[in-house]
Structure 1
Amino acid sequence: MQQRVFTNGVEIKDQLVKDRFIKNSGVPFTVPTAIDPEAIIRFLAPDTAVFGTSNMRFYVTKKGNQHLFYSIGSVQVASNRINGTLNNDIRGLLKYTAPLVPLPSTTGFAYVTKEVRVGYRDQSNMRVALLHYRLKRDFSGLANSEASGLLFNEFNEAAITTIGAGDTLAVQESSFMMPVQ
């Protein structure tokens, strides 16, 4: 597990600065040590799975031991900002994404897409990727925004180049094991 912090397109190496920025995140940068007994991946068919007790189904594609889980239901993405941060800023952090389908402006949404989760299977367990993030944007001194969260995906290294002067991004990639049924 590695915590990385970037500003102006470069990585910050000062551990005290990194720790201070990460500590103020709205989502703790922690990795679960004990998994809820209900936290399993259940395959309903070779290409369909659910996580835990959720009814939300995912279509599964496999390449070697890597499994990409695409939500069967669409995710609507608003055309405005979330806490002032563009939706595309968060999407840009993700290594694996689904195509965007544009919507008419009258719907109030910019597009629909699918949630994508990634895991790596070994016999009876799936190592599920965790990406913690905190993104703070400065809009030329006029305003700033911040978003933080946890996603079951991996970090897209190309996102580093989108972090401009006054912006700060912290990421932590880790994973945890989930039993597979």
Structure 2
Amino acid sequence: MRELELGKAFTLMESGPVVLVTTHDGQKGNIMTLSWTMVLDFTPVFAITTGGWNYSYAALRERGECVIAVPTVDLLDQVVGIGTCSGADTDKFSRFGLTPLPARVVRPPLIQECLANIECRVVEIVTPYNIVVLQGVAAHIDDTRRERRMVHAVGDGRFIVDGRRIDRRAMMAARLPPGV
């Protein structure tokens, strides 16, 4: 094996799905792109990493709620575009042709074009690491959507797209929660 520059080690592990996170500051909705996400348990508890450098962070911190929207590969250019401009001076829904839908429990909107949307409330913000722990309170999926392949950031401007699924559910049955 050859040595890998330590500063590039994160590119080996940053392959969770790229998501869009919507917030609402009391005046308007906004969207940010995030690739640093984590499932914390089989229950709907998640973590995202963001901070003051993102315009949406203040709304997330002050309002304590968001929507995690899961885009598919056909939305990649919009996803990247959303991540390269600021909601401080851009209506990202309009600029990127995305449709905000009312959520069932929280104020931030769902994104109609996404495969799935998870409404969340902030449980805790771990300040030194900018980790936002979220509790899912409602979830939505578009079963009619033909494109279902998610995108995963490598961290260097390149992406991996979901491929063939391999089924080992029978082998893992004893470890899966009921109903999964």
Output the TM-score relative to the length of structure 1. 0.22
Bigger radius of gyration, 1 or 2? Answer: 1
More helix by share: 2
More strand by share: 1
